[in-house]
Chain A
């Protein structure tokens, strides 16, 4: 333990350079808010010999808005993002998903990038990011690339990042007129818990018709899912009962959950339908407001 290195580079290039070299020699961990990593270190699940704190890198802490398209640094904390009032007006579902994670103390540190890289199937912000259609920019030894959020994970705790790659920021599409997003999760208590099921919905409405829809589920499969069959069922509909029911059944069919103390397989499947309908209602309400 006494040989553990702590490095806080100022640039992305330095960070990638150190990360790609040190992760070949030993176990390196990237530190963002630390709300998962420090718990893992203390419990012995993770014992890195190098810790790279990426919070001194400008790009990872930046929030920018280019003509309605937001770019959010991977290490921006929940409490900081909330203060960016216009982001919450554009992407209330993403903000509410991130803000559901932990207490105010956790919100002072926890970030979208950390939640994504921790790769828990129950990470709250991930379904909301998928539904928003955001992409994630990663920087590695071979340069930069953009990934859709839905293809970022390969399983519980696992990502498709290559050696030396670091998550830089999230790029959100320009919010469409008459669109709205929402995220809801089911937990047995009112707060401070891990999702049994999470569902995010993002819809765009024109003349009462659904012209675009993205539906994502969390905590019901080895990774968060984009439910394309649910989107298909909604697009072109007037959100009539049959279309909504068809989309709900698509959500249920997409579930491949575990059976544990938080929820059984059949419970999680059933709740995914209910939660989808409620999240859809909320998203429609927001879309109608503009």
Chain B
């Protein structure tokens, strides 16, 4: 029953954990590290609710083995607000009522942040394509797209 020891960095903090070979990053985040902001929905990479970034790359944490995160930089929704202050996307999501039940929201925010880090002036089509891997059954997506557009505008104004 030898467990695998992993040393990684989560939201800038050095983290160590033990896991089994089949454990995903999502399993370890939610079960062992008590970081339940990242949501589990489909567990097959279809819905995007478990989106995180690994070394800056947007991925589904249900499709990454925990053992693969050795020496990696993981960013989750818990690292999005800094010093008690919302990220601009968190603010615009609230202002535009871009969430209802909230289950897709952490993944949606992580994915949208990853888009705006690459492109601060995305078209509506670019936003919709980028977020195509994040399913939302409440909002109809329109408010989410508008919130991302508003956040992008704010980032551009402050640039």
Contact = CB atoms under 8 A, between A and B. Distances in A.
A256 interface: no
Contacts of B63: 33-35, 38-39, 105-106, 109
Contacts, number: 89
Interface string A1-14: 11111101000000
A196 interface: no
B129 A191 contact: yes
Given A105-B111, A109-B64, A4 B21 contact: yes
Contact of B133 (A31, A43, A51, A105): A105
A77 B64 CA distance: 13
A53 B65 CA distance: 10
A2 B21 CA distance: 8
A42 interface: yes
Contacts of A191: 129, 132
Contacts of B129: 191
Contacts of B57: 77, 79-80, 108-109
Interface string A140-180: 00000000000000000000000000000000000000000
A105 B46 CA distance: 9
B122 interface: no
A227 to B, nearest CB: 31
Interface in A4-28: 4-6, 8
Interface string A54-67: 01000000000000
A103 B22 contact: no
A22 to B, nearest CB: 13
Report the contact-size class of chain A (Cβ under 8 Å from the partner): 20 to 34
A53 B114 contact: no
A34 B22 contact: no
Contacts of B22: 1, 4, 41
B138 interface: no
A5 B21 contact: yes
Contact of B132 (A34, A38, A41, A192): A192
B65 A103 contact: no
A1 B133 contact: no
Contact of A108 (B24, B59, B132): B59
B4 interface: yes
A96 to B, nearest CB: 13
B87 interface: no
Given A6-B4, A41-B22, A104 B58 contact: yes
Nearest 4 CB-CB pairs, A to B?
Answer: A103-B133, A4-B21, A6-B21, A108-B57
Interface of A: 1-6, 8, 31, 33-35, 38-39, 41-43, 51, 53, 55, 77, 79-80, 102-106, 108-109, 191-192
Given A8-B68, A109-B59, 5 more contacts: A6-B65, A42-B44, A51-B65, A104-B115, A192-B132
